[in-house]
Structure formats: structure tokens, C-alpha cells
Amino acid sequence: METENSMTGPETAAAPASVTAGASAGLAIAFQPIAEIAGSRIHAYEAQVLRDGAPAAQEFDQLSAEQRGDVDRRCAVAAIRWAATAGFATSGGRLAIPLSAPAIGDPAEHIQPALLTARQYGIVAERLVFTLHHYQSITSSQLADILHVFNKLGPVVSFHGIGPNESGLAACGKFAPHMVTIEPELISSVGSSWSRRIAVEDLVRRMQSLGLRIVAAGVDSEGAYERLRSFGVPLVQGNYVGMPVVGTLPQPATRNAA
């Protein structure tokens, strides 16, 4: 296993030297639970890349597609290693690994290092969830190819983000990923704001009509949690459910059924 401040791995040598040096320094992997709202059982652990304790996602979004692809591949390998060392094999959940969809060239090549690492640690590919960020930014044919190849190789695919104005909803309905995350920006205040409650409830109903498995991210209060439960949202994620923890697979907080 790498040290907490190292993201080096067998694929690092393939990355440009400047990217390797800049992107790896001070990085660590944290895991945050995604829980089933019925019974607070673990569904998956989302791997989150931190730099010096803060989320690195926005920083990574500034990279070129080629650089981002290199970083994503190395972070995926590191996430699997860290999770395996933390006891993922007996956790009962899946491992959700973020990828930037526009940075995926050849889908099979893109996840091959991760699949090889999972095999080394005895983790079956079916327990991996590759979460596509910015999936709205690529063509339908590219998205279809990614899903076809990933599913053929074993992992499942989730889409991160139904954002403002329901962006991405049509693609979610067309491709039916394993799960779809509603952005924290939409979930915040759902427990206290009438207008936000109406908007989210309507969105949830639309997603349910498409047969989508919903993850509500950014659940940070009991009010939001209970409101989402009343909407029939099956999966929740956020500080109220469980904080992200570096190098550890935290159990979701146990919440009483309504």
C-alpha cells in the first residue's frame, strides 16, 4: 500500500513528469458511505481524493483531458489499494470511483489498471462502480460505448449529477446507469425550504418514473434525511449519514425507521 501522501503506482510512469509531480503531492484517499435509507445499510463507499485535507475535484477539473485521464487512472488504482487495506473485502458494499467522462479515451484501456489492481486484491470487478462526472459533456455515442465496455468488463456505471434545470436527466433515462446522484446543491435546504422541497420531490418522481436508482448527496441534517425518506429516495450520502474518512471505511450512522 502507498503511504498517505503518495499516489504512485504501476501506471504513474506513463504520465508526463510534470503532471505526476504536481498531481500526486499531498494527496490522500477518503471514503464516504452511501447508505440505504431503509435500515442504514451500506450500499457503497465513494472514494474521494483530497489534497492536504481538502477535496481535489475542482483542481482536477482544470487539467487537460489527457492529464485528467492520467490522474483518474492513478487515483482509481490508489482507491482500490487503500480500500482493500481498510477491509473492503468484508465490508459488504461496493466501491464507487470517480472518473471524468471527457477524459476517457479508450474505455477498456482507461480502467484496465484498476481492474488489474482489483484482481490482485481479490476484489471482483462487479463490486466496482465507476461514477462518471461531466457525462453531459460527451456525445451519446461516446457515452454508450463507455457503458457497453465497462459493463462487459464487469464494473457498473453511475452518473454523478442531476444538476440545475434537470441537466442530464434525459441521458440518465436513456442509458439507465446503476445509480444517479442528485447534486448537493439541490438537496441542501430540502428539509427546511418549501420551494426546494417541491422542486426535489418533482425531480425524484421524474427519476422514479424512469426506473432510476437515486442517490441524494449532501444530506447534512435530520430534516433533509426524513424528507428524502418520505419521497422514497433509496440511497443517501452526506455528513449526516457519514463523514468521509481518510484510509478507513466508516459505517453509516444508524437512523431509526420512520
Per-residue model confidence as pLDDT tens digits over 201-222 = 999 999 999 999 999 999 999 9
On average, the pLDDT of the chain sits at 87
Torsion angle of C-alpha atoms 230, 31, 162, 130, degrees rounded to 10: -120
CATH of the domain at 136: 3.20.20.450
State yes or no: pLDDT of 121 exceeds 60: yes
Beta partners for residue 98, in sequence order = 131
* 107 contacts 149 by C-beta, under 8 angstroms: yes
Is 160 within the bounds of a domain?
yes
pLDDT band at 24 (very low <50, low <70, confident <90, very high): low
Is 4 within the bounds of a domain?
no
Q: Which domain holds residue 206?
A: 12-246
* Residue 86 DSSP label: T
Which of 6-10, 22-26, 59-63, 83-87 shows the lowest mean pLDDT across its residues?
Answer: 6-10
Cα dihedral 45, 50, 52, 58 sign: negative
- What are φ and ψ of residue 47, in 5° steps? -80, 130
pLDDT value, residue 74? 94
Is 253 within the bounds of a domain?
no
Mean pLDDT in residue range 58-72: 90
pLDDT value, residue 72? 95
Structural domain tally of the chain? 1
Other beta carbons within 10 angstroms of residue 252's beta carbon come to: 23
Residue 174 burial (10 A CB sphere; 0-12, 13-18, 19+):
exposed
pLDDT value, residue 138? 93
pTM of the model: 0.87
Is 221 within the bounds of a domain?
yes
Residue type, position 180, single letter: V
Which of 109-123, 125-139, 152-166, 230-244 shows the lowest mean pLDDT across its residues?
Answer: 152-166
Which of 11-15, 97-101, 213-217 shows the lowest mean pLDDT across its residues?
Answer: 11-15
Alpha carbon 79 to its chain's center: 11
Residues 6+ apart with CB under 8 A from 104: 69, 110, 142, 146
Is 256 within the bounds of a domain?
no
How far apart are the C-alpha atoms of 233 and 213, rounded to whole Å? 8
Is 172 within the bounds of a domain?
yes
Is 7 within the bounds of a domain?
no
pLDDT band at 250 (very low <50, low <70, confident <90, very high): very high
How far apart are the C-alpha atoms of 178 and 43, rounded to whole Å? 12
Is 212 within the bounds of a domain?
yes
